[in-house]
Amino acid sequence: MINWTDDNNLIVIDDKVEPMLHKWLKDMLAVTEATITFTKVDGTDRVMKCTLEPAKLPPVIIKEDAKPRKETTSTKALRVFDVEIKEWRSFTIKNIKRIELAIS
């Protein structure tokens, strides 16, 4: 059994939890929107409403001279679509502070 929380009942995202949280969040975002609060690389906090729901993603436009995007198997970061600014963004899993899901 994995202990997900510290003495204050806050989730600790360590190397064991990180891949599980990455998969869970990716699966959840495929069917709903979420508001993620995280610390950016520059140390500031950001709140982002995002999704991976296919119907809410922009169409894929492939330019003739475009280089193929390298697929990654890393669970360190997650690339998502920010529904408010309509752009792709990513965040580091270990820097997540809060996850709010929209359940309908």
Nearest in space to 78 (alpha carbons), one of 24, 40, 18, 26? 26
| Tens-place pLDDT, residues 7-58 | 666 677 888 889 999 999 999 999 999 999 999 999 999 999 999 999 999 9
Query: Which amino acid, one-letter code, is at 57?
Result: L
Name the residue ranges covered by the structural domains of the chain. Answer: 33-57+72-104
16's tokens: 């064991």
DSSP letter for 5, please: B
Which pTM does this prediction carry? 0.82
Place of tokens 């360190």: 76
